[in-house]
Structure 1
């Protein structure tokens, strides 16, 4: 399953200033999340997402594209994801300011089927399932065990990463339209 988010935002500031809020560790911490980011190709860094109590909030990332001050891309993988998603920032100078384009491609892993053998030695990361609305049938009890007799068999899909879903469903909009403009005024000097 592939879920994409594309956003376009205009700022009344020059491209270099917008680049600074995307690549400065302290500015990122204020408008996005605590981090150990460095604008260096191949740099592995971590965002610490602390707004969801009880969940591990680390998002592991790696800079995969760096073209100052035009384009920045990094991987994004939290603890519920089997594969990383990709965050790409594109900065375009326009009359009166800068257009910032965000593309966040959210790669979601495949689900396991309950009617297939499950290896208990496999890590459970990314194996959380919920029943789809498709028709299901129930496993018939057998003589060996009735533990699984009430588990429906049918089509299942993976629960999305909560952190990734929060960003793809309004989190980026809030940060780019509410928080980032405040940082452009306060934290950057040209």
Structure 2
């Protein structure tokens, strides 16, 4: 790929949630919880594991690239020509967890995907917070 790295776009969403990193981690790694806030899946928190996220509109091919329990989770997110990486970073904060999601890898010609991610991720994180509020 001969695109300068400065041209690659990222979507970043950050939230402070009133739940400990262990609980946030479960919501990011348990398939039945992921399905509640994101999409149907066969996720396993294991480096190299390939899984698919599926929704009414289609699916996303994913592969886990990094797992550091309660701290970092990263996976490839490939859909409709987009090859990107989603990275979750959990940092303990005074009253819970600072949660950071970054999806990187959008090329300048992928504005539709980039705008879709900018629109979609805050909604997914809203759903995630609702799952955290009711999950044990």
Q: Does 1:180 align with 2:120?
A: no
Write the distance in 1 (CA, Å) between the matches of 2:127 and 2:44. 21
The aligned residue for residue 15 of structure 1 is 21
1:159 to partner: Cα distance: 5.1
How many pairs were matched up? 130
The aligned residue for residue 70 of structure 1 is 71
52, 55, 70: which one aligns with 1:46? 52
Question: How far does the alpha carbon of each residue in 1:11-35 deviate from its partner, in whole angstroms, 9 at most, with x for none?
Answer: 1111100001000101110101111
Q: Which has the higher contact order (CA 8 A, sep 6+)?
A: 2
Higher strand share: 2
Q: Does 1:166 align with 2:105?
A: no
Question: How far does the alpha carbon of each residue in 1:126-177 deviate from its partner, in whole angstroms, 9 at most, with x for none?
Answer: xxxxxxxxxxxxxxxxxxxxxxxxxxxxxxx845564x6422x21101111x
Structure of greater Rg: 1
Write the distance in 2 (CA, Å) between the matches of 1:70 and 1:93. 9
Structure 2 CA distance for partners of 1:40 and 1:93, relative to 1, 3 Å: same
1:106 to partner: Cα distance: 2.8
The aligned residue for residue 3 of structure 2 is none
Structure 1: which 5+ runs fail to align? Answer: 109-156
The aligned residue for residue 93 of structure 1 is 92
Write the distance in 2 (CA, Å) between the matches of 1:159 and 1:13. 35
Structure 2: which 5+ runs fail to align? Answer: 1-6
